Amino acid sequence: MRMQIFKVARAPDDHVDYDEYDSFVCVAVDMEAARRMHPRDTRTWVDGTGWCWVGDGVPQGLLDEYHSWTTEIDTLVIERVGVADYSWSESGVILTSFNAG
């Protein structure tokens, strides 16, 4: 299965403050995997739990720190923008939009 390229953006009515991400572009297997990514690329959303550091695909611990991304992942706008080359096999973030303040 070819990896896909997605743009993940916060909802248009979601207030984006200084020092927060408003969107990112990533490579993922599907839309739901893209939705669970964090712009910093080392975190993932665990249902009912929150953002966690992830190592080797396994949650390593909850994040209580400021994370600069929304926790309302169901409101994210996900757009498929293409497919990766056949040789591309890893998921991850390739571009971010950060509102520095």
- Overall size of the chain counted in residues: 101
Of 72 and 43, the structure prediction assigns the larger pLDDT to 72
Work out the average pLDDT over 8-29: 91
* Confidence check: pLDDT of 32 > 80: yes
